[in-house]
Each structure stands twice: as C-alpha cells, then as structure tokens.
Amino acid sequence: MNKKLIEFFDVPKEAYSCIELMLTEEEIVLIENMQDQKYTYKELLGLIEESFADLDSEDFIRMCYKRGIINKEIVNGEIIYKSADVYTRLAYFAQYESKKWKSIPKEVRKNLDDWYVRKYTENAIPRLEEIEKGTRKLIENAYFYTLEETLILIDEIDEEIYMVPCNCKSVALNCDKPKNVCIQFDRGINTEWDRGWGKSISKEKAKEIVIMANKKGLMHTSETKQAICNCDGCCCYPIRASRNIQTKGIWPKKRYDIVWNKEKCIGCGICSNICNFNAFSKKGKTISFDENKCWGCTICKDHCPAEAITIEKIEN
C-alpha cells in the first residue's frame, strides 16, 4: 500500500482495498506531491505543471475540487488549497459514482460505512460540547421538524435552493428509499454547490420533494441555516452518531411527544411500517406503541388514517 497516500490522504485501513478505485493516478500523484501543505491557486498551478506534462492545470484543479480530492481554506482573505481526505472523498464517490461504489464488495462497503459513522461521531462531539457550553448555537440536523413546519421553513429561506443526492443513503445503502431528497441552501466554500454539484430548484419543487419524502417514510431535520435533510433511521449519520453517543432527544432535538389514542386505532399497521425506530409494532391485528423507542420525528401522525396519532409540543 502507498504509504505517502495513506499519510497525506488520511486513508483508513478499511479503504486500503478500494482507494485506487476512488482516485485517478493523477490525483494520487497530486496528493503525494502536495504533502499536506497549503497552496495558493498560483502555487498549485505551478506544482501541477511541474508534475504533469499534458494536463490542463486549471481544469485539473477544478475537477479535483469537485471530486473532493482537495479542499479550500480562507487565510487572510485569500483562498488556498490543501489535499482533502478519504472522509471527504467517500461521500462524493458514493453520491456521484454510485456504480463504482456499488461494485465494491458489500463487506468492504459495510466496513467503510461503519468507519464513516465513527469518524462523523468523533467530529460531532466537540461541536455538541460547544453547544452545551453556550459557545455554539447549532449543529447540522439540529431539530426534527413536522411536515407542516418544513414547508413553512422552505417559504422562509432567503437563499437560492438546490437539491443533491443524500450522502447518508448513498454511502450506507441500507434501504431503497429515495436519495434525491437533500435540500441545500449553503453555497460557501467546500459545499457541494461550490464544488460544482447540485441542481437549482424552486421553492415549490422543494416542497414537492419534502411531501414525497414524507410519504416514503423519510424524516425531516434541519438547523435552518444550511439544509433540510430528509432521511431515515437506518442510514442517517446524525441519527446513527446520536445512537453512538447516546444523545437521543437532544440531537436531533425532540420537540414533540407522540400521543397514540388506542381507542381510535383501527389496527391498519401503517404506523408500524412508517416508523423509523420500531416504536410502533403490529402483532396480528394489535398495535403497540413503545414511547421509549420514539425519537419524536412526527411522521407517523401524517399517515394515520384514523387520526389516532397526534403530537404535543414539548415546552422548554
């Protein structure tokens, strides 16, 4: 295994067998030559011209940034470049080169997915601690939103909206639920939009996506600043990370209690099929609700034909 690549691209052992599928030969050479150093655009152009005879240097930089091979930083008001890592590259690889990702043996993908969750969890802990200390206000996927609240949030967004494939479901591949449901509105450096991905959509189209996602059993979370995520309990990285560090109810924040009216229940079982956390279960014609398993995502209420499920706002 290429020791320089492992060091400079932070390659975990879980990726050793597939890293060369995730990178081109030219990208590997660039990572080795950058050696974890920072470069201005002009300096990076010079490095590429020294390393390759027949490459369009500007286009190569653009594609490396788009593919998550290099990242941008702002230093003293100037954009500089630095090599990224497998953690960054993996999501773009799974989202936009899905056939290649799916061609990797399932066991290797599973190990990489588990590593990705652990890495994401490690990165989230300091930010959650900052929230607890009062030095940070929000973290991504901060709150569960009801369907109605999500539609209102879309109306209140001032930034232009774009849609990208869900990175959680693209990497994890734990279900067949819709992937093209991630609504973004952050366009800063290192965002998918700045890298050249994403499809601009209208507010009405965003609402259609959210309503469709809800019908398919996807939950709505947001911090209102960057994105509206429509994900599920088996793939969602914030949910899986929250399980790891036992922050259920805190992240994503549970804002409503689910109230189930047993007398009104007709035993159809829709709730047990739609619930991401097995809080509702069906045995024969009998429905049971375990509130200890409930995360408060609220989508069950939208699907009960007997209106036996309602929600109550949790007062702070």
- Measured at the CA of 69, the angle between CA 63 and CA 74, to 5 degrees, comes to 90
**Phi, psi dihedrals of residue 197, rounded to the nearest 5°:** -105, 175
Rounded CA gap, 86 and 240, in Å? Answer: 20
Check residue 1 and give its pLDDT.
Answer: 67
Residues contacting 190, CB < 8 A, separation 6+: 71, 72
Query: Are 150 and 191 a contacting pair, CB within 8 Å?
Result: no
User: Which residues partner with 287 through β-bridges?
Assistant: 282
Residues contacting 291, CB < 8 A, separation 6+: 257, 258, 279
Check residue 263 and give its pLDDT.
Answer: 96
Rounded CA gap, 309 and 232, in Å? Answer: 20
Query: Are 26 and 55 a contacting pair, CB within 8 Å?
Result: yes
Residues contacting 304, CB < 8 A, separation 6+: 270, 271
| Residue 39 parent element (H or E) | strand 39-40
Query: Are 302 and 147 a contacting pair, CB within 8 Å?
Result: yes
Token pair 């209106």: residue: 307
Amino acid at 134: G
Check residue 69 and give its pLDDT.
Answer: 99
| Residue 230 parent element (H or E) | strand 227-231
Distances (CA, A) of 232 to 169, 267, 291: 8, 23, 18
The CATH code belonging to domain 3-104 is 1.10.10
Q: pTM (2 decimals)?
A: 0.94
Q: Of 256, 249, 286, 257, whose CA–CA distance to 271 is shortest? A: 286
The CATH code belonging to domain 256-313 is 3.30.70.20
Query: Are 95 and 170 a contacting pair, CB within 8 Å?
Result: yes
Report pLDDT digits (tens) over 226-278. 999 999 999 999 999 999 999 999 999 999 999 999 999 999 999 999 999 99
Check residue 285 and give its pLDDT.
Answer: 87
Report pLDDT digits (tens) over 281-304. 999 989 999 999 999 999 999 999
Q: Of 92, 224, 231, whose CA–CA distance to 168 is shortest? A: 231
Token pair 């994890």: residue: 172
Rounded CA gap, 269 and 214, in Å? Answer: 17
Rounded CA gap, 227 and 150, in Å? Answer: 11
Domain boundaries, the chain: 3-104, 137-245, 256-313
Q: With a cut of 70, list the residues of the chain below it in pLDDT.
A: 1
Rounded CA gap, 289 and 298, in Å? Answer: 14
Check residue 224 and give its pLDDT.
Answer: 87
Check residue 131 and give its pLDDT.
Answer: 87
